Amino acid sequence: MTTNRQIPPLMLEKAAAGLLSAGELRMFADALDTAEVQAQIDGLRSADQRIRDDYPPVRMLAGIREKYDARRRARRMVLIPAAATGGVVLLALALWVVVPVNRDLREDTPSVAASLPYEGIKGGMPGLSVFRNGEDGQEEMADGAMASKGDVLQLAFSTGGAQSLLVCSVDGRGTVTRHYPQEKENTLVTPGQRVLLPFAFELDDAPGYEKFFLVWSTEPAQMDVAAVCDLLARGTRQDGATRLPDGLLLREFTVRKPSAEEQ
C-alpha cells in the first residue's frame, strides 16, 4: 500500500486526538514516524492541555455566572420532581439555565448561548463536552461515563475549524434530541469559539445509553438538520457506522445508562 510522507492539517489534528482510522494510520504511517510530525502532534496535545488548565470548566462556569448575574437577578428557584428517589432537585435559574422535565426543550429557552474564552487553533478539531449538574455544582463527564434517569446534563462545544455545525443525541429507544441549533435551521458557526449551550435537560429511563453527536463541516454551508439527525438515529439503531454526506465529519460522545434488565 502506498503511504504518504506528508500529512494534512486535519489528519494532524485527528492524530493528536487519537481519532485516525485504521486506513488513515496506514496511509500516513511514514509521516507519523517522522520526528517533525511527532513534534507537531506533541505541540497540539500540549496546547490542548494548556487550554484545559487555563480554562477549567468549573472556574469558567463560575465566571459566567458572575458576569450574567447582574442581568439575571430576578430569577426564581425551580423544583423538578425526582420520581426515582421521591425527592426533588433544586436548580437556581441564577442565569440562563433552563431545565425541562421531559426530553422536549422548552420553547422559552434563551436563544443566545454564552461563549467561553477559547484559545484553540481555528483550523483544529471541534470538541464536545458534557456536564452533569449535581449538589456540589457541575462536573465534566468522561466519554463512556455512567448516568441514570433524572441526571441533569448540559453541553458545551468548541467550533475549532468548523464553519457549519450541529449537535444532537440519540437514546437507547432511538429517540432523537436536537441540541444545536435548537430552533432555527442556521448551522453556521464562527471558527475558534467555545459555546456553552444555555439550557440543560433531564435524562429519562431510556435504557443503555445516550449518544451525543457533533457533526461539522469546514465549508460555510447550511446542513439539513432533520436529515442528518435521522441518519444518525438510523445508524445508531442498526448498530453500524453512520454514513454521512461527503464533506461532513463526526465526533461522538457516549453516556452509558443501565440496561432495561438493570432498571
79-113 as b/e: b if 16+ CB within 10 A:
eeeeeeeeeebebeeebbbbbbeeeebeeebeeeb
Task: Place 68 in a pLDDT band, splitting at 50, 70 and 90.
Answer: low
216 has which bridge partners?
165, 249
Tell me the pTM: 0.57
Residue 53 exposed, middle or buried by CB count within 10 Å (0-12, 13-18, 19+): exposed
Express each pLDDT in 200-254 by its tens digit: 889 999 999 999 999 999 999 999 999 999 999 888 776 656 788 889 999 999 9
User: How far apart are alpha carbons 169 and 240 in whole angstroms?
Assistant: 16
Mean pLDDT score, 64-78: 50
Q: Are strands 152-158 and 127-134 parallel, antiparallel or unpaired?
A: antiparallel
The predicted pLDDT at position 258 comes to: 93
Q: Which of 18-22, 119-123, 136-140, 220-224 has the highest mean pLDDT?
A: 220-224
Task: Place 91 in a pLDDT band, splitting at 50, 70 and 90.
Answer: very low
For residue 115, pLDDT over 50 is answered with: no
For residue 114, pLDDT over 60 is answered with: no
The predicted pLDDT at position 109 comes to: 32
Express each pLDDT in 21-50 by its tens digit: 888 888 888 888 898 989 988 888 888 888
183 in Cβ contact with 218 (< 8 Å): no
Q: Which residue has the higher pLDDT, 94 or 159?
A: 159
Handedness of CA 54, 215, 211, 173 (dihedral sign): positive
For residue 129, pLDDT over 90 is answered with: yes
Mean pLDDT (the chain) is 76
Lowest mean pLDDT among 17-31, 69-83, 143-157: 69-83
